Chains A and B, each alone.
Chain A
Amino acid sequence: GAVVSQHPSRVICKSGTSVKIECRSLDFQATTMFWYRQFPKQSLMLMATSNEGSKATYEQGVEKDKFLINHASLTLSTLTVTSAHPEDSSFYICSARDAGGYNEQFFGPGTRLTVL
């Protein structure tokens, strides 16, 4: 099956620094990737839709200058949390849409961000 990887799996940073999270589709091309945020024991909240070669589409209430998304190739999207603060600590999950078949989404293993 289709595999999506995320790197890093876990990151701890100081308040005020920026953190980049990578999402890669390993065995298929993904014109669209999605970034989600999940708080403990809660559901996934869609943050933004990342389209290859164009600007990301952000959901209401998500600061685009805070969460920078770049989808430079058909297999890689990055999420950069800029000037991170403790309230940005969360579990970030990406998914990639396989344009073939039924446009299914395949999920990465997630990245645990802790901001001190």
Chain B
Amino acid sequence: AQSVAQPEDQVNVAEGNPLTVKCTYSVSGNPYLFWYVQYPNRGLQFLLKYITGDNLVKGSYGFEAEFNKSQTSFHLKKPSALVSDSALYFCAVRGSNDYKLSFGAGTTVTVRA
């Protein structure tokens, strides 16, 4: 069985400060890892993914994530947060031989001006 844990329900940061959203996963075999962002009453927008290659993945809107196999983590980061980054963020995982995605519970990010 595969699963994702996002240990923080909420993350609050000041604009201009670094933003980190944590994610750990469990999956059989090689993981395919994803981050999505969701704004109110909207679908999921893809931010970035890790399939293979460099552990540091760069994505949309200045976000990046680092794959850490030993810690089974895939934390999302942004060096300087913007108020417009305030949204709900989901981490997701699937195995290389499975089509189904498993989502974390989501983390609400609030960036204050």
Q: Chain A residues in contact with chain B, CB under 8 A? A: 1, 6, 32, 34, 41-44, 46, 49, 91, 93, 95, 97, 102-110, 112
Partner of B42, one of A1, A43, A104, A110: A110
One digit per residue, 1 when the CB lies within 8 angstroms of any chain A CB and 0 when it does not, for chain B 18-49 equals: 00000000000000100010000111111001
Q: Is B90 positioned at the interface, with any CB of A under 8 Å from its CB?
A: yes
**Could you tell me the dominant secondary structure of chain A's interface residues?**
strand
Could you tell me the distance between the alpha carbons of A32 and B100 in the complex, rounded to whole angstroms? Answer: 10
Report B74-111 CB contacts with A as 1/0, cut-off 8 Å. 00000000000000101000000001110111101000
A42 adjacent to B99 (CB under 8 Å): no
Contacts beyond the supplied A1-B46, A43-B105, A103-B99: 13 A-B pairs with Cβ under 8 Å: A6-B43, A34-B100, A34-B101, A43-B104, A44-B90, A46-B100, A49-B99, A93-B44, A102-B51, A104-B49, A107-B36, A107-B44, A110-B43
| Closest B residue to A108 using CB positions | B43
- Most A CB contacts (10 A, CB to CB) among B32, B42, B90, B105 go to B42
Across the interface, which residues of A come within 8 angstroms of B103, CB to CB? 43-44
Looking across the interface, which residue of chain B has its beta carbon closest to that of A57? B100
Category for how many chain B residues contact A: 20 to 34
Neighbouring A residues of B36 by C-beta, 8 Å: 107
How long is the Cα–Cα vector from A91 to B104 in the complex, in angstroms?
17
Interface centre among B42, B44, B103 (most CB of A within 10 A): B44
| Contact A41/B88 with A32-B99, A49-B99, A107-B36 known, Cβ cut-off 8 Å | yes
Least CB distance, A8 to chain B, in whole angstroms: 13
A95–B45 CA distance with the chains assembled, in angstroms:
11
**Is there an interface contact between B42 and A106, defined as CB atoms closer than 8 Å?**
no
In chain B, residues 39-68, which have Cβ atoms closer than 8 Å to a Cβ of chain A? 41-46, 49, 51
In the assembled complex, which residues on chain A have CB atoms less than 8 Å from the CB atom of B90?
43-44
A1-B46 Cα distance, complex, nearest whole Å = 10
Which residues does chain A contribute within 8 Å of B108, judged by CB atoms? 41
The answer to whether A110 touches B99 (Cβ under 8 A) is: no
